[in-house]
Amino acid sequence: MRIVKHPILSFERGREVEFTFDGRKMKGYEGEPIAAALHDNGVRVLSYSKHLHRARGFYCAIGNCSSCLMTVNGEPNVRVCTEKLREGMVVETQKGRGDIK
């Protein structure tokens, strides 16, 4: 959910863009992290771990911990907490470590 009114902060957002998450159409703001847009759309589970297939979300949100790796435009292991959202991006839940084509 977006913060609409805040006592101290105001948010400068880019233009609204469309992207897909596992084939579902979603909206976000250009230039914000993919993870922020997904979170606003209610998506918490970003990937499944390699061995035990456990659900993973983000943890640090600043590109340190690699808990948020997803497949973006076919490229696996993208840190979606820092990768910026662009119009038409294809974002997919990553299972395991991902294959580099």
Partner 1 sequence: MKKTEIAVIGGGPAGLMASLAAAEMGARVTLIDRNSRLGGQLVKQTHMFFGSEKEYASIRGIDIGKILSAEVLKNPRIETMLDSTVIGYYPDDGVLGVEVEEKTFVKIKPEKVIVATGASEKFLPFENNDLPGIYGAGAVQTLMNEHGVIPGDNVLMVGAGNIGLIVSYQLMQAGVNVKAIIDAAPNIGGYWVHASKVARLGVPIMTSYTVKAAYANELTGALERAVIWQVDNKWQPIPGTEKVLKVDVICISVGLSPLAEILWQAGCKMKYVPQLGGHVALRNENMETTVPGVYVAGDVAGVEEASSAMIEGRLAGLNAAKSLGYDNGTFNEKRREALEQLESLRSGPVGEKIRQGLAQLVS
**Minimum CB distance to partner 1 smaller for 18 or for 62:** 62
Q: Residue 30, interface with partner 1 (CB under 8 A)?
A: no
Measured CA to CA, the distance from residue 34 to residue 51 in angstroms comes to 25
Q: CB of 98: closest distance to partner 1 in angstroms?
A: 17
What the block records as the tokens of 49 is 């771990």
Q: Residue 62, interface with partner 1 (CB under 8 A)?
A: yes
Cβ contact 33:46 at 8 Å: no
Handedness of CA 51, 56, 59, 62 (dihedral sign): positive
**Minimum CB distance to partner 1 smaller for 36 or for 89:** 36
Measured CA to CA, the distance from residue 22 to residue 4 in angstroms comes to 28
**Minimum CB distance to partner 1 smaller for 48 or for 90:** 48
Residues near partner 1 (CB under 8 A) are: 1-3, 6-9, 11, 13, 32-33, 35-36, 39-40, 44-46, 49, 54-65, 81, 84
